[in-house]
Amino acid sequence: MSLVTIILKMSEGLGKTCAIFFLTLLFSVPLGMIVSFLRMSKNKVISGITKFVISVLRGTPLMLQLLAVTYGPHYLFGADISRNKLIPVVIAFSINYAAYFCEIYRGGIESMSQGQYEAAQVLGYTKFQTFMKIILPQVVKRILPSMTNEVITLVKDTSIAFTVSYQEMFTIGKQIANSQTSFTPFLVAGVFYYILNGIVGFAMGRFEKALDYYK
């Protein structure tokens, strides 16, 4: 099989790789914010349970979580959600990354000085207005480097979907490599991931530069 043919065949799975990436970000970014509020709750029961769930998600492999979400409902309840494997893949990825984003958000929010909240209160801002107009923009600026690192990791982690036979780019490359007894598909996959991460890094860099006015 020629190099061009390998590239064309693997390109067929590129769209599915991008689907995992964008859908995971779509759900995990806001979910991470919600979880961070639960983690910082003054109610010790809520914060304690949230902390435990986060520790489980961060302390176990994403591959294991993916297998649990894909096949767990069938073994436990007889429900089959693995027919469209994109659904369990996105669910597992979103929950896992929300746990990491949660801690990034929490670190950014807790780094803000109490004086800003007090000044906003004096100016008549509600707690919601204070957070949305004063705190959140600064938090985004502070956490962006850490978020960028996680987003780049997500691009590479999409390859884990091969464990449930979801036909994304790496899965197709692995199948070609096995059938052709060749390492070339893995090299092609590496180039694809490098290019995708280059695009992500460039986009996040531009976004970070756009927030330079907070200096």
Could you report the per-residue pLDDT of 189-209, keeping only the tens digit for each? Answer: 999 999 999 999 999 888 888
CA 201 to chain centre: 15
Could you report the per-residue pLDDT of 94-139, keeping only the tens digit for each? Answer: 999 999 999 999 998 888 888 888 888 888 888 888 888 888 888 8
Q: What is the pTM of this model?
A: 0.89
Secondary structure class of 175 (helix, strand, coil): helix
Could you report the per-residue pLDDT of 85-103, keeping only the tens digit for each? Answer: 899 999 999 999 999 999 9
How would you class 51 by CB atoms within 10 Å of its CB: exposed for 0-12, middle for 13-18, buried for 19 or more?
middle
- Residue 76 has, within 13 A of its CA and on its CB side, a CA count of 7
Q: Give the model's pLDDT for residue 105.
A: 93
Could you report the per-residue pLDDT of 9-21, keeping only the tens digit for each? Answer: 888 889 999 999 9
The answer to whether residues 61 and 69 touch, using CB atoms and an 8 Å cutoff, is no
Could you report the per-residue pLDDT of 38-64, keeping only the tens digit for each? Answer: 999 999 999 999 999 999 999 999 999
